[in-house]
Every structure is written in structure tokens, then in C-alpha cells.
Amino acid sequence: METKWIKMLEEEPDLEAIKEAGRIIKNGGLVAFPTETVYGLGGDGLNKEASRKIYAAKGRPSDNPLIIHIADLADLEKLVKEIPPKAKKLADAFWPGPLTMIFEKSEQVPFETTGGLATVAVRYPNHPVALVFIKESGGFVAAPSANTSGRPSPTLGTHVYEDLKGRIEMLLDSGEVGIGIESTIVDMTVEPPMILRPGFITEEMLKEVLGHIDVDKTTKERLEGVAPKAPGMKYRHYAPKGELTIISGKSEHVREAINKLLIEAKEKGLRTGVIGTEENIEAYEAHVKMNAGKKQDELTVARRLYSMLREFDEEKVDVIYSEAFSENGMGQAVMNRLLKAAGHKVIQV
Ligand code: AMP
Ligand code: MG
């Protein structure tokens, strides 16, 4: 299949192209599209054949459920058995936006979309292209991140094209996304609600609206024999091909330790990479250096993270050392993804 790659500006959605994309979805086809978090691989969420195609295109395990994207709050009712009052509050506070909520699913939602679960994940994204596209597609677009399973999520149209060229009918490309890591997921079927995946909407922001909220402990550390509650979180996602290790500690100790490791790796003939803060990056002895932004600017680190991991693959780097980043606010989400990419390999110095 030929993939039509259509470029446009985020602020000027190309209506003709998006209408065509909507027709593709209504006919059971696949279209990748930008959201404010990462690019999504979209299909009709109420059509089980379309959901099967999404899993096949990504090589995604079929027990890893999809998020259904809506573009009108009223459409939520069709997908769920009931809307708990707390979900209404969160929707009022954060939708449209980078928050996904889990509900008991209605009959209309096929089990193919929910990976066999009786619950459904729903998000109302805030991106001009996504919103028009979802409306043109009939209102219910199931979409996981538009990467091949196991690769870092795509934050640029070119990432999507690299991974899914020839597997989808169309790619709507509006350049780099704003946030760069996936939505916060909150399970609304338990009391108190529970964060299953950290993201731009932080624990503190959710607490301000709801009072108490639980956090799935597996988002912070690997626990022997305990599976994450979001099925997708158990897979080693976001992995670069090179072996990634995180070095944590005081800034000057980290810098020293990383340089020592880099020199050792070079002596073994390995091609080396480093992810460092703007303050430190010049000082490193690596072949490939990635500047993650200023230490306290977790938003920039988040936006660059997946791009940096993909760059290392292109540069054919064998070993990568990364500084640990601040866990303030969205830093928690950044460290959650970085730890997964590193298979939880951390050296404390
Ligand atoms: P992605 O869209 O690629 O970021 O993946 C969607 C994420 O949402 C995966 O980690 C899924 O496991 C999670 N998810 C989707 N639906 C549910 C659900 N019904 N219950 C728990 N987690 C879900
Ligand atoms: Mg994903």
C-alpha cells in the first residue's frame, strides 16, 4: 500500500486532506495523525476489523488495549456504562487535553479495541488537526502511538513515516508535537481513582481537583511479580537499540562517572552516546551527544526524549549513558519513560 504523506501547519489544518483521511477511517482504513502528546495511529474505534489492523500495522500484542479519541464531550456517553461524578470533574478541568480516563465500557465498544477488557480508555485531545480529523472520522478514533511496537513513540511526522510507511493509507503531518510523551492515564473504575501512567497532567494537578488519588506503584519502580495495571506498561517500550544506563547523583559526580564509563567503553571499541543537560553536555567525551535542555526544564526534556533515543539508533550507538532528571511535576513522567527505556538500569553515584 502507498502511504500518502500530507504536510500542514498545526494552526492551519488542511481541510481537504483531513476530509479524505476521515473517509479512509469510515471505510475501515488507517491514518496516522498528530496530537499534543505524540502521533497516533488511528482507526475506527467501533469497528473491530479496523482495530485488528492497528495491532497488525504496529506489531502490537493484542492484549494491549487502545485509547479511543473523541472530539466532543457528549460522545463519551456512547462509549461507557456510566460517567462517575469524579470523571465529570476531571473532564471539566483537563479536557480537551493530555489526560486519558478508564471507564466500564458500553456494548458498542468491541473487545478488539479494548484488548479483551471490560473497560475502555478514552481521551479528548487538544490539537487542531486531531480535533477536525476525529470529527471527520465519525467521532471515535482508536489510536495507540504511531510507532512500531517497542520503538520510541513518534514526536515528528518523519518518525511515523520511518516506522509505518506502506502499512497505513495516510499520514497527517503537522511537524513536532508540543508535549512529546504520552497522556496521563487515570483509572476511574476504582475508588479512589488511580494513576496508571504518569504524564503532563501530574499527580498534584489531579489532587487539586479530586483530593485523594492513588498511583500504581509500578510506575515508579519495578516490583518483582507485580504487573502494571495498564497492560501496555509491562512491555519494554521506548527502547533504543544501544544499551542505555541512567546515572543518578550530584551533578558533578554524575559528570565524572559518565566520563569514566565513556572512556572505558571507547577503549573496548564501542560507539558511545550520552544524554546530558545543557549545563554539562560540552564536558562529555561521547561520540554522540544529545542536549536534553536545562536541568530544571522538564518540559524540554520531555519534548526531546524520544527524538534523542531515535537519533542514537540512526547513529548506530552501542552504549548510552544518561543523566537522571528532576522528578518535579512532569519530571516524574520523564523518568518513568527513561527508566523503561533503560530496562531500569540505574547507577547511583
Ligand atoms: P499508547 O496509546 O500506545 O500510549 O498505549 C495505550 C496505553 O493505554 C497502554 O499502556 C494501555 O495498556 C493503556 N490502556 C488502554 N486501555 C486500557 C484499559 N482499558 N485499562 C488499562 N489500561 C489501558
Ligand atoms: Mg505506545
Instruction: Give yes or no for residue 272 CB within 6 A of ligand 1.
Output: no
Neighbours of 208 (CB within 10 A): 11
Whose atoms come closest to the Cα of 121: which ligand? 1
Based on the fold, state whether residues 207 and 248 are members of the same structural domain.
no
Question: Taking ligand 2, which is a single-atom ion, which protein residues have CB atoms under 5 Å away?
Answer: 145
Rounded CA separation 51/196 (Å): 22
Based on the fold, state whether residues 80 and 149 are members of the same structural domain.
yes
Degrees (nearest 5) of the Cα angle 170, 174, 175?
115
Q: What is the CATH number of the domain that holds 307?
A: 3.40.50.11030
Instruction: Give yes or no for residue 42 CB within 6 A of ligand 1.
Output: no
Contact criterion met (CB below 8 Å) for 35 and 177: yes
User: Please, where are the H alpha helices in 154-202?
Assistant: 157-164
Based on the fold, state whether residues 252 and 140 are members of the same structural domain.
no
User: Which of 54, 81, 196, 235 has the most ligand 1 atoms within 8 A of CB, as the residue to mutate?
Assistant: 196
Based on the fold, state whether residues 161 and 269 are members of the same structural domain.
no
Distance 265 CA to ligand 2 centre (A): 31
229 within some domain: no
Question: CB-hemisphere CA count at 13 Å for 91?
Answer: 21
Residue nearest atom 2 in ligand 1 by C-alpha distance: 144
Based on the fold, state whether residues 215 and 279 are members of the same structural domain.
no
Residue nearest atom 22 in ligand 1 by C-alpha distance: 230
Instruction: Give yes or no for residue 102 CB within 6 A of ligand 1.
Output: yes
Count up the domains in the chain and report the number.
2
230 within some domain: no
Contact criterion met (CB below 8 Å) for 242 and 312: yes
**Could you tell me if residue 147 is left (phi over 0), alpha (psi between -120 and 50 degrees) or otherwise beta?**
beta
Q: Which among 143, 147, 148, 166 has a CA at the least distance from the CA of 157?
A: 147
Instruction: Give yes or no for residue 121 CB within 6 A of ligand 1.
Output: yes
Instruction: Give yes or no for residue 258 CB within 6 A of ligand 1.
Output: no
pTM of this structure:
0.95
Residue nearest atom 5 in ligand 1 by C-alpha distance: 144
Which residues make beta-bridge pairs with 244?
A: 320
Report pLDDT for 237.
Answer: 67
Q: What is the CATH number of the domain that holds 132?
A: 3.90.870.10
> Residue 42 carries which side chain, given as an amino acid letter?
G
Mean pLDDT split into 10-residue runs, the chain, 349 residues: 97 98 98 98 98 96 94 98 98 98 98 97 98 98 95 96 98 97 97 97 97 92 84 76 96 96 98 96 97 91 95 96 91 93 94
36 within some domain: yes
Based on the fold, state whether residues 42 and 161 are members of the same structural domain.
yes
Based on the fold, state whether residues 68 and 181 are members of the same structural domain.
yes
Query: Mapping DSSP to helix (H, G, I), strand (E, B) and coil, where does residue 252 land?
Result: helix
Residue nearest atom 13 in ligand 1 by C-alpha distance: 230
Based on the fold, state whether residues 210 and 316 are members of the same structural domain.
no
User: Which of 37, 51, 66, 80 has the most ligand 1 atoms within 8 A of CB, as the residue to mutate?
Assistant: 66
Based on the fold, state whether residues 22 and 83 are members of the same structural domain.
yes
Based on the fold, state whether residues 13 and 83 are members of the same structural domain.
yes
184-187 and 99-104 strand pairing: parallel
Instruction: Give yes or no for residue 216 CB within 6 A of ligand 1.
Output: no
Instruction: Give yes or no for residue 298 CB within 6 A of ligand 1.
Output: no
Print the domain residue range for 283.
243-348
Rounded CA separation 18/7 (Å): 11
Provide the angle, in degrees to the nearest 10, between the axes of the packed helices 331-341 and 298-314. Answer: 20
Based on the fold, state whether residues 120 and 59 are members of the same structural domain.
yes
Query: Mapping DSSP to helix (H, G, I), strand (E, B) and coil, where does residue 120 land?
Result: strand
Query: Mapping DSSP to helix (H, G, I), strand (E, B) and coil, where does residue 43 land?
Result: strand
Whose atoms come closest to the Cα of 100: which ligand? 1
Distance 192 CA to ligand 2 centre (A): 26
Rounded CA separation 270/45 (Å): 45
Whose atoms come closest to the Cα of 114: which ligand? 1
Q: Please state the atom number of ligand 1 nearest to the C-alpha of residue 185.
A: 8
Instruction: Give yes or no for residue 109 CB within 6 A of ligand 1.
Output: no
Q: Please state the atom number of ligand 1 nearest to the C-alpha of residue 67.
A: 15
Q: Which among 130, 153, 11 has a CA at the least distance from the CA of 70?
A: 130
Whose atoms come closest to the Cα of 232: which ligand? 1
